[in-house]
């Protein structure tokens, strides 16, 4: 896949997992760290995160899988003919994407109607 696509996907998954962990694991001990974004020998900067152990694991798995995705034109993972996720990992990620997707959708709607955000 293109570097742009890779960076976009990596940043999206990072944003979603961070949002999920911020909301769902408020009282869990967090670990501050970062991932070096690197693709096709191109330095794309850092992904800083502040996640609990569980979410950190999910983020790393997602990142590794994205990195080794063999598709030139990356399909949506849901529609992939050769999924690289273990079933349990995929379930964890799917839950996060759904939750955060809804949250972000709501934020967008609020912005659209000019309602104040908390
Ligand atoms: Zn978490």
pLDDT in tens, 31-55: 999 999 999 999 999 999 999 999 9
Confidence band of 71 (pLDDT split at 50, 70, 90):
confident
Rg of the Cα trace of the chain? 15
Which pLDDT score, from 0 to 100, does residue 27 have?
Answer: 94
Region for residue 97 given its phi and psi (left: phi exceeds 0; alpha: psi -120 to 50; beta: otherwise): alpha
Distance 59 CA to ligand 1 centre (A): 10
**Residue 38 phi, psi dihedral angles, 5° rounding:** -140, 130
d(CA 12, CA 82) in angstroms, rounded, equals 21
Query: Minimum mean pLDDT among 23-32, 52-61, 107-116: which range?
Result: 107-116
Task: Kindly give the distance from the C-alpha atom of residue 93 to the centroid of ligand 1, in angstroms, as a whole number.
Answer: 11
Question: Taking the domains of the chain in order of start, what are their residue ranges?
Answer: 3-113
Closest alpha carbon to 46 in 59, 36, 38: 36
Q: How far is the CA of 26 from the centre of ligand 1 (A)?
A: 8
Segment 75-87, tens digit of pLDDT? 888 788 888 888 8
pLDDT of 117 strictly over 60: no
% of the chain residues with pLDDT over 90: 69
Report pTM. Answer: 0.86
**The predicted structure's pLDDT at residue 115:** 61
> What's the CA-to-centroid distance between 36 and ligand 1, angstroms?
20
Q: What's the 118 CA to ligand 1 centre distance in angstroms?
A: 21
Distance 32 CA to ligand 1 centre (A): 12
Contacts of 39 (CB under 8 A, 6+ apart): 3, 6, 7, 67
């Amino acid at each position: 896949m293109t570097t742009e696509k890779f960076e976009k996907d990596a940043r999206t998954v990072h944003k979603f997992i961070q949002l999920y962990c911020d909301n769902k694991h408020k009282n869990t001990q967090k670990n501050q760290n970062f991932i070096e974004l690197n693709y096709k020998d191109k330095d794309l900067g850092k992904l800083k995160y502040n996640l609990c152990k569980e979410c950190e694991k999910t983020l790393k798995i997602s990142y590794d899988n994205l990195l080794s995705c063999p598709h030139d034109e990356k399909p949506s993972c849901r529609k992939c003919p050769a999924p690289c996720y273990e079933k349990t990992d995929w379930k964890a990620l799917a839950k996060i994407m759904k939750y955060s997707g809804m949250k972000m959708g709501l934020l967008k709607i609020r912005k659209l109607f000019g309602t104040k955000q908390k």
